[in-house]
Amino acid sequence: MRGGSIAVVGGSIAGCAFARAAVRAGAEQVVVLERSPGRLEDRGVGLCVLDPRYEELVRAGHLDDGIRHHRLVLRRWLTRETAPADGLGAADPRGRVLWVQDLGFRSYHWGVLWQALRERAPEGVEFRLGEAVTAVDAAALDGGDGPARVETAAGGREPYDLVVGADGYRSLVREALCPEAADPASRPAYAGYVCWRGSFDARLLEDLPGGAGPWPEDEIITVCYPGGQVVLYRIPGLEPGSTQVNWVFYAPTPAWLRLDGPTSVPAGALSGAQFAELAALAERHLPPYWAAVVADLTPRERTFIQPVYDLDVPRRTAGRLLLAGDAASVVRPHNTSGVVKALQDAWAFEEAWRSADSWTALLSAYERDRGPVGRETVELGRRLGRAQVTEAPDWAVMDGPAMVDWWRRQLGGGGVFGGHALAQPPNGRQAS
């Protein structure tokens, strides 16, 4: 099937990937509608791609070595160490090693990856920045086979053969596709804890006692404490040649955080008292070296909060609407599969298009492929969250063998850490 008009609602990573996939599959017109009026490079969240998933996405044509990344080869699990009872010696300021896990990742700066995907979009893609979508006509959901219509804040109303909702966890397209959105099954469900997140220039590590030496550049650090954990790793900076430290601090819900709807507290919006609460958490629960990384080196304007949610919609397609990325499923960050999920969605969409002879066949194939994967991935995220945060073991008694057994139990109920394997493109085809 070739031809057709596609509207992609949302111009972030999933939106760029779907636009590229649609052109490669044969779409005649591809329009990306992004509500933000400017470019998105300043979104500073770090993300990781497990090596096997990276290699598959390279073969599929969605990633390449030309996109700046940072190599990580192992994950070191730590917990705070108390001083010996006999008073001899001192606790290690970096903490006690629980386990050293061999895991190969490539880490990215969200803005750097987005910029690379945006630059790789084919010439035929039209990006409309500052174009806020206010409604998607769901008339075709009632069994009709007509186009979907998109309305914008500027008063525009245009028909498209297919509308892709790549508009994130608060998706407007999802509300149109799932009119039963009042049903909790179609809305993000709060997991009961939050992520404090932050980043800073890695050169600041030299200001710590021992400098950057206690933390090799190719290690992910995970510091475990009762009721939460902190994950720290390096990512590329926005400027070529620069490096940043990125961290995620899982913690109980602050008393002042309102959760009457999916929300977050963006960078720069934390008050001094709220930021001081983070510093107190770090001092209370983390070994001194890592507490300083979080509380002393990270500026308030680079710190923010994201509540942790779960979501897997009852369906990803209906009529001429399709959901992608976080609009379709929200997975807890423990699984490090967010960007993989979005890029795999785009690959599955392209493959479904290439083998389809109608829009109905395309959407049915996409649903069959991504529905089960999404459900398993969300459930794995829940298990990881329980094992690592809400129902974590007594870290004080854990050691290497116990950690290995604990990790295996988390993965025993289905799902794949870092994202499911992607099938080889037919006939070994290298996507262009």
DSSP assignment of 124-192 equals TEEEEET--EEEEE-GGGGS----EEEEETTS-EEEESEEEE---TT-HHHHHH-TTTTSGGGS-EEEE
Which DSSP letter does residue 215 get?
S
pLDDT higher than threshold 90 for residue 141: no
Question: Helices (H) and strands (E) in the chain — how many of each?
Answer: 9, 18
d(CA 71, CA 53) in angstroms, rounded, equals 14
pLDDT higher than threshold 90 for residue 424: no
What six digits make up the tokens of 275? Answer: 């930021």
What percent of the chain stands above pLDDT 90? 79
Residue with tokens 């709060």: 190
Q: How far is CA 136 from CA 39, 164, 193, 330, in A?
A: 24, 11, 33, 21
Average pLDDT value for residue range 232-240: 96
Residues 6+ apart with CB under 8 A from 384: 332, 334, 335, 410, 417
pLDDT of residue 344: 98
Residues 6+ apart with CB under 8 A from 386: none
Angle between helices 359-385 and 338-355 (to 10 degrees): 160
Tens digit of each residue's pLDDT (9 = 90 or more) over 73-131? 999 999 998 766 556 567 899 999 999 999 999 999 999 999 999 999 999 999 999 99
Tens digit of each residue's pLDDT (9 = 90 or more) over 278-334? 999 999 999 999 999 999 999 999 999 999 999 989 899 999 999 999 999 999 999
Domains of the chain: 5-42+112-187+313-389+414-428 (3.50.50.60), 70-109+189-309 (3.30.9.60)
Burial class (CB in 10 A: 0-12, 13-18, 19+), 96: middle
The answer to whether the Cα torsion of 267, 271, 276, 278 is positive or negative is negative
Indicate the pTM of the whole model.
0.93
Residues 6+ apart with CB under 8 A from 86: none
What percent of the chain stands above pLDDT 70? 91
Instruction: Kindly report the average pLDDT of the chain as a whole number.
Output: 91
pLDDT of residue 196: 97
Residue with tokens 């955080």: 257
Average pLDDT value for residue range 344-360: 96
pLDDT of residue 367: 96
Backbone φ and ψ for 364, nearest 5 degrees, come out as -65, -45
